[in-house]
Amino acid sequence: MSELPCIGAPDPAWNDVAAEITFDVPYQRLWEPGPRGGSWFPGGELNLSVNCLDRHLDTHADRVALHWEGEPGERRSLTYGELHEQVRALARALRSLGVGFGDRVGLHLGWLPETVVAMLACARIGAVHTVLPAPLPAEALADRLAGMNLKVLFTQDGAWRHGTVLPLKARADEALSATESVQHTVVVRRTGMDVPWYEGDRWYHDLVAATRPGATTAEDEPLRVRANHPACTMPQANRRGQPILIQHGTAGVLASSIAVHRQISSGGVFWCAADITWVATQFHGIYGPLACGDTAVMYEGTLDIPNHERAWHIVQRYGVETLLTSPSVARTMRGWARSMPSVSPMPTLRRVITAGEPVEEELSEWLRDTLGGGRLELGDAWGQLELGGIVRVVGLPDTPPLVPLPDCGLDIVDRTGAAVTEGQPGEAVLRRSWPGMAVGVEGGAASVSDSRWTRYPGLYATGDRAVRDTGSDEVIFLGRTDDVVPIFGQLVSLSEVREVLAEHPYVAAVDVAVRKDPSVGRSIVAAVALKPAYAAGADLDALAVELMDIVREMMGGLARPRAILFLDRFGDELGREQRAQAIATLATEDRHTPTMVTWAQLVAAAGQ
């Protein structure tokens, strides 16, 4: 394969960010050109765990690093000194299992303190971790594990989510049949439920207790790694059954996380209210606060358990000053607030940053006036998984202690790569390198990612449509150029699901939609109209299972529709968004009782 074009040089302001990173071996230069995003901090060596923990111990070992509370109500707080001790203990335990430099470790865990400990322990010994969503069904988890070549898999006996316990250990046992690389399964005892036990299974608490260090020895020394050594991989898209894993380099993770945290944090307690699998949660909810020596808040499960006031209680209990979340979560909180007798502002809250999708002015007003009592500072963030999370934030006042993000060279171009004029839509691109850019791509379909760099040579193509507002010069994001959606932290192309279903000989027309469920998150559902020759005598139950299985075989378990809605026909009375909403409303999650409805019923469900 020919070498990919090189993007432009980064903003020199990154030199100031680099000064906040502890390098064991100094880097030779800030950046040098090369394929993809070029090479950041060449020649430098460092350890991510040291930058998040060790360097803070002399000044604030007793400061709280993490506040955590479980869905049933338990609470734990870990100081930097305590977190450091637990990371050292687990790093030693992993080494005792034969895990070392470059080995792969899977974290099939919810958002627990043990999850953060495992992330940092892997970084401490040069292992590469991947967070696997806790709610993944066994078959989807098996899809992930099949191509990851893990040496160790972390999981839980069970995980609390939306008031129920998910059987994580049982699902992991079933999924492990897809891989022979996993030598040990480390199990966090979270719920106390009975679980089957097999050779290679180890309880987390026993493993750590047996290796908990006292005085520091040579065995506990953190491993310094090259600046571009992968700290983690994150699943991106699944193309016809071939997953893509994005590698993020150690120094790039630190630089981008520190830079973003300096801008969005008020300096007080920081809370990222989102799932642990989200890139923003890992980079900006964990690494950013820890690298800057701040206090972060973590929570297990969903924000409506035990009641809809949980978010308010968390902010009040820990004195949260900065909240990072998605507009979807904020809209859900607004919906809950409407049913509460009175919604009081959150007095400690100073800033709310939304990321992941555009935020409408009505929601911004509610956040500012109702949640913040009219004094809240709001930031609208944009970024991508391949960029290591957030790269741009607008809306925050340009006053101290705000430290502006370095320029990423955001621009909008037409199909030829030429910049468009104000008011003209096009595709958003970056003209400058960013340290959080992926340092590598893994997977059978990794070449799909190359289009980011080849579509407009010398630019990074985001795949997002945008327009520059006339007068304000602000970039307004309009949505994806494709219809890729996140399912359990992995991007799935709805158009590819449609194509796979449409290839079935019985299918005349098809559409797919995303259904949101608080207990399992997002899932794909489909509506199918059959060809007249097959519609009358079709066994809908068997056909629904067959269609689901075809998608799973072609694209993996995450892309498999969780429900099939059979229609008598498709009409043209509804737009794409209305049709998708109606399909998601009517489709049942019970795969064994597929639903047959008329197009008129679908139109009625859309409110037409």
Residue 213, pLDDT > 70, answer: no
Strands of 168-223 (E only): list them.
Answer: 184-188, 201-203
- Say what the pLDDT of residue 584 is: 86
Residue 195, pLDDT > 70, answer: yes
Where among 223, 242, 269 does a domain terminate?
223
Mean pLDDT of the region 225-233: 97
Domain of residue 587: give its range.
487-605
- Residue 590 forms part of a structural domain: yes
Q: What is the Cα–Cα distance from 575 to 413, expressed in whole angstroms? A: 28
Q: Where is average pLDDT lowest: 14-28, 181-195, 521-535?
A: 521-535
Mean pLDDT of the region 128-138: 90
Where among 184, 206, 223 does a domain terminate?
223
pLDDT, tens digit, 9 for 90 and up, residues 557-584: 778 888 898 999 998 888 877 888 888 8
> Residue 110 belongs to a domain with what CATH number?
3.40.50.980
- Residue 548 forms part of a structural domain: yes
Residue 293, pLDDT > 70, answer: yes
- Residue 354 forms part of a structural domain: no
Q: Quick one: the chain helix, strand, coil %, rounded to 5?
A: 35, 25, 40
What region, left, alpha or beta, does residue 423 occupy, with left being phi > 0 and alpha being psi -120 to 50 degrees? left
DSSP labels, 31-73: EE--SBT-EESTT-EE-HHHHHTGGGHHHHTTSEEEEEE-TTS
Mean pLDDT of the region 352-373: 90
% of the chain residues with pLDDT over 70: 92
Task: Please count the structural domains in the chain.
Answer: 2
Residue 268, pLDDT > 80, answer: yes
DSSP state, 25? B
574 CA to centre of own chain: 32
Cβ-based neighbours of 221, under 8 Å, separated by 6 or more: none
Phi, psi of 555 (to 5 degrees): -125, -5
600 CA to centre of own chain: 38
- Residue 321 forms part of a structural domain: no
Half-sphere exposure of 28 (CA within 13 A, CB side): 5
Q: What is the Cα–Cα distance from 587 to 74, expressed in whole angstroms? A: 36
- Say what the pLDDT of residue 77 is: 98
- Residue 586 forms part of a structural domain: yes
> Residue 570 belongs to a domain with what CATH number?
3.30.300.30
CA distances from 244 to 127, 132, 241, 362, 498 (A): 19, 14, 10, 37, 20
What count of other Cβ atoms lies within 10 Å of the Cβ of residue 174? 15
Q: Where is average pLDDT lowest: 79-88, 286-295, 360-369, 508-517?
A: 508-517
205-225 residues labelled b (16+ CB within 10 A) or e (exposed): eebbeebeeeeeeeeeebbbb
Rg of the chain over Cα atoms, rounded to whole angstroms, equals 24
Residue 42, pLDDT > 70, answer: yes
pLDDT bin (cut points 50, 70, 90) of residue 492 is confident
- Say what the pLDDT of residue 1 is: 38
pLDDT bin (cut points 50, 70, 90) of residue 359 is confident
pLDDT bin (cut points 50, 70, 90) of residue 2 is very low
- Residue 438 forms part of a structural domain: no
- Say what the pLDDT of residue 459 is: 94
pLDDT bin (cut points 50, 70, 90) of residue 445 is low
598 CA to centre of own chain: 37
pLDDT bin (cut points 50, 70, 90) of residue 92 is very high
- Residue 53 forms part of a structural domain: yes
Where among 171, 193, 223 does a domain terminate?
223
pLDDT bin (cut points 50, 70, 90) of residue 104 is very high
CA-angle at 432, arms to 322 and 247, nearest 5°: 70
Q: Where are the alpha helices (DSSP H) in 465-605?
A: 494-502, 532-535, 540-555, 576-586, 599-605
DSSP state, 584? H
- Residue 11 forms part of a structural domain: no
Phi, psi of 411 (to 5 degrees): -145, 170
Residue 446, pLDDT > 60, answer: no
pLDDT, tens digit, 9 for 90 and up, residues 540-562: 888 888 898 888 777 767 788 88
Mean pLDDT of the region 396-418: 87
- pTM (two decimals): 0.86
- Say what the pLDDT of residue 451 is: 80
